[in-house]
Structure 1
Amino acid sequence: MRILYLHQHYSGPAGATATRSHALAHALAARGHHVTLACGRYEGAVTGLAGAFRGGRREGLVRGLRIVEFDIGCGNAQGLGGRGLSFGRYAARAAHLALGGRWDLVVASSTPLTVVLPALLARRLRGTPFLYEMRDPWPELPRALGGVPGWALSGMERLADAACRQAAAVVALSEGMAETALGRGAAAQRVHVVPNGCDLDLFGPQVAPWRPAEVAPWEVLAVYAGAHGRANGLDSLLEAAALLRAGGERRIRILLVGEGGEKPRLRAQAAERGLHNVTFLPAMPKRKLASLLAGAQLGVQCLAPVPEFAEWTAPNKLMDYLAAGLPVVANLSGRAARLLAEGPCGIATPPGDAAAMAQALRWMADNPALRQVMGRSARDQAVRRWDRRLLASQFAGIVEEAAAPAATLEALAAA
């Protein structure tokens, strides 16, 4: 089959951001399908392409995958207007690609939700079926976070309804997301859950450990690796650090790795409050992150105290921690809390409760033997339940099923 995979924020493993689309696209290529992946220039992403952009794009074959990269920048530090413009420009370029080729299926992977526009156009004008991959439910999450104009939310409502109702298949990253797709009119037999998975080759006990020079050998290193945006609620983590310091706790260092619009303010706040137990580092390639996690004692998962996050999020960083064999301290309820309870492989504290997070971090420092047991349980869960290769195979099967009716009709027409 000829598959057009649309993901504006795509990155290969050399980048510092999520690589789910990389794994899923390669799983499709390994099954003999011809995959073209179209993306933009996302902050921290590395596509594997080199050379100058010509006519606003560059393309090439990277490890069996045809990649088309548009010269359209996007990142967490951009404001709402800048991101909106980036989303619109990508949708326009991707629509030209979707309508200009003969595709058996289009995969539209959000966010942003505007990625479904080219897929909807190709379905209407060319009869091309599409699969809608819901990484985050929009407009549900933007509405919950606030700050998005009503007209934009209204437009998202109509677009999300159309995507769920017209897609040949909807793939959601959690059961909660799948329920939103059903609520928007998706047929139950077309909705599937394929969660984020663990890269067991990249992360794990086989990786040589590394610790930054700022971290003392005797310190318990707790790593948060991810975006520094409003949705991540990192003020709560700084408050936990302040409580630990005020209580005389000197064994724990909190390391925040990543970029985002909130990072300058968070760094200034940490310096102003004298939080010498907090260190900031820029986003780093996944392979270096794997070494950092191998040298750490804890993974930290943090989100803003938004009730909708409980079932509507599937953080890939949590999968990285589990694959690395790290026990996790999280401030989430719902799906993530249930996941950590299995084993158990971590502690879930109430959302927004900095004191509880500080107490959980201190417990981890007080109980090194139990912490190691949790770490082994984390790796065991990663191997048993979240192996990305198995999940990628499941995704490929859904893609093939979604494209089957159109492929049958084309074969009959050619006969």
Structure 2
Amino acid sequence: MTALRILYLHQHYSGPGGATATRAHAMARALAARGHEVTLACGRYDGAVTGLEGPFRRGMREGRVSGFRVVEFDIPCGNAMALGARSLAFLRYAHRAARLALGGGFDLLLASSTPLTVALPALAAQRLRGLPFILEIRDPWPELPRALSEAGMGGVVPAPALAAMERLADAACRRARAVIGLTEGMAETAIARGADPAHVHVVPNGCDLDLFGPHVAPWRPPEAAAWEVLAVYAGAHGRANGLDAAIGAATILRNGGERRLRLLLAGEGGERARLVEEAARRDLRNVTFLDPMPKARLAGLLSGAGIGLHLLAPVPAFAEWTAPNKLMDYLAAGLPVVTNAPGRAARLVEAHGDDGACGIAAPPGDAPALADALAALAANPARRAAMGAAARGRAVRLWDRRLHAARFCDLLEAAAGERPLARAA
């Protein structure tokens, strides 16, 4: 196929040197390896490392990373910011990205949401330049913000903002050349908004088998005793992550005399300070908080751990509308997983046919059940080993990110090969 000039809009992009998701890095690198000319435009996201150095000039800097061009706008954004500040960052990025897209020179635009505002430059470039675009849904908006708002987990989103997001999501799904969702549930939201089912696809998060796995040298924090089994949660510390369940489970384990287990909570977010204070107030010496760390450093921590901990607040929408990267990292590292999320995450750790379970699913919002699951694995090294082997086996057979990246590239190439859209008059 003729090489494509692709503009990849991903406001929260990070390379492997950061502490956040690297899916976009893997996909852009795969596209570049096929000979396509990729420009990835991003902002400054908390915990992300783009790989670019040097000062910003006129609000941006650029350079080449792993075979593709990165344009980084000087627009800070993070989950700890207030809703108004984050919304302003979203709109500022959309404005700068639209100017880049309208500058011409691209054959295809890939808009990766969240935030949904990446659809604004995509729709503008389609209308004014006839540039076709693909919409990637990493979180369904406005469905997820509405669910979080109703559950009191994400701040109250004003009704006018939700109405505007509704119209934008409808337009993006209907006008996109193709839609890629990370889960079947996300794909269903696109179809419900008018996307052609024939052009809606699922490309899930995958496992980085080179970065995570039994080949990685392990390390443990100094607080961890040699006999302790480490249960690691690595990710955001926000209200939606529901880490009070970890504090509750740690309290139950401590009060029950369980001394074989230590919970490690690595990351940052708006709830971290409160969680640290609560753990100290309860004198939970079986809980350790760690700062966010680069993926390579995290790989060593997971290699030295015994359990991967996947937690979410008890919000029904999370069942099919979330695809946490941490879950894939645990599987790749060969860790048994304890999750308190129903739906997709629970199905992922269950036994399938002759393939044994690779973890335990506790009911959402049930701290005693979470504590029981952790204690059961801490007490049974053989069971942990069997589940860990099943996790790594599934990662290799089903979740290898390279396989998903190849399908991602195929879908973009197929969409680009279709008849171009008529230019707006």
Q: TM-score surpassing 0.5?
A: yes
Q: Aligned partner of 1:15: which letter? A: G
Change (3 A) 1:409 1:88: closer
Equivalent residues of 1:128, 1:406 under 8 A apart: no
1:29 equivalenced with 2:38 (yes/no): no
Q: Aligned partner of 2:370: which letter? A: M
Partner of 2:274: 265
Change (3 A) 1:64 1:406: farther
1:48 equivalenced with 2:51 (yes/no): yes
Q: CA deviation at 1:392?
A: 0.2
Partner of 2:384: 371
Distance in 2, Cα, partners of 1:153 & 1:270: 36
Deviations 1:347-390 (A, max 9, x none): 01111111110000000011110110000000000000000000
Change (3 A) 1:408 1:88: closer
Distance in 1, Cα, partners of 2:101 & 2:33: 22
Q: CA deviation at 1:131?
A: 0.5
1:16 equivalenced with 2:29 (yes/no): no
2:205 to 191, 196, 217: 196
Deviations 1:210-243 (A, max 9, x none): 1111111110100000000111011111111111
**Greater CA drift, 318-327 or 141-150:** 141-150
Partner of 1:80: 83
Distance in 1, Cα, partners of 2:274 & 2:82: 15
Partner of 1:218: 227
Matched residue count: 410
Partner of 2:399: 386
Q: CA deviation at 1:63?
A: 2.2
TM-score by length of 2: 0.95
1:1-150 aligned within 5 A: 1-146=4-149, 147-150=156-159
Equivalent residues of 1:176, 1:312 under 8 A apart: yes
Distance in 1, Cα, partners of 2:243 & 2:189: 27
1:283-294 aligned within 5 A: 283-294=292-303
1:322 to 326, 331, 334: 331
Change (3 A) 1:260 1:408: closer
Q: CA deviation at 1:405?
A: 2.3
2:288 to 279, 296, 309: 279
State the 4+ residue runs in structure 1 displaced beyond 4 angstroms. Answer: 406-410
Q: CA deviation at 1:37?
A: 0.2
Partner of 2:188: 179
Equivalent residues of 2:130, 2:420 under 8 A apart: no
Distance in 2, Cα, partners of 1:156 & 1:301: 29
Identity across aligned pairs (percent)?
A: 70
Equivalent residues of 2:132, 2:420 under 8 A apart: no
* Counterpart secondary structure, 1:405: coil
**Superposed CA RMSD:** 1.2
Equivalent residues of 1:104, 1:129 under 8 A apart: yes
Partner of 1:206: 215
Distance in 2, Cα, partners of 1:281 & 1:179: 37
Unaligned ranges ≥5, structure 1: 411-415
Q: Aligned partner of 1:312: which letter? A: W
Q: CA deviation at 1:103?
A: 1.1
Equivalent residues of 1:49, 1:59 under 8 A apart: yes
Distance in 2, Cα, partners of 1:329 & 1:115: 34
Partner of 2:153: none
Q: CA deviation at 1:89?
A: 0.5
TM-score by length of 1: 0.97
Distance in 1, Cα, partners of 2:269 & 2:346: 25
1:362 equivalenced with 2:384 (yes/no): no
Q: Aligned partner of 2:357: which letter? A: P
Distance in 2, Cα, partners of 1:212 & 1:3: 43
Q: Aligned partner of 2:260: which letter? A: R
**Greater CA drift, 99-108 or 194-203:** 99-108
Deviations 1:253-290 (A, max 9, x none): 00000011111111111111111111101100000000
* Counterpart secondary structure, 2:418: helix
Equivalent residues of 1:98, 1:122 under 8 A apart: yes
Equivalent residues of 1:129, 1:406 under 8 A apart: no
Distance in 2, Cα, partners of 1:198 & 1:405: 31
Q: Aligned partner of 1:347: which letter? A: I
Distance in 2, Cα, partners of 1:201 & 1:28: 19
**Greater CA drift, 290-299 or 244-253:** 244-253
Distance in 1, Cα, partners of 2:100 & 2:421: 23
* Counterpart secondary structure, 1:362: helix
1:301-340 aligned within 5 A: 301-340=310-349
Distance in 2, Cα, partners of 1:18 & 1:220: 26
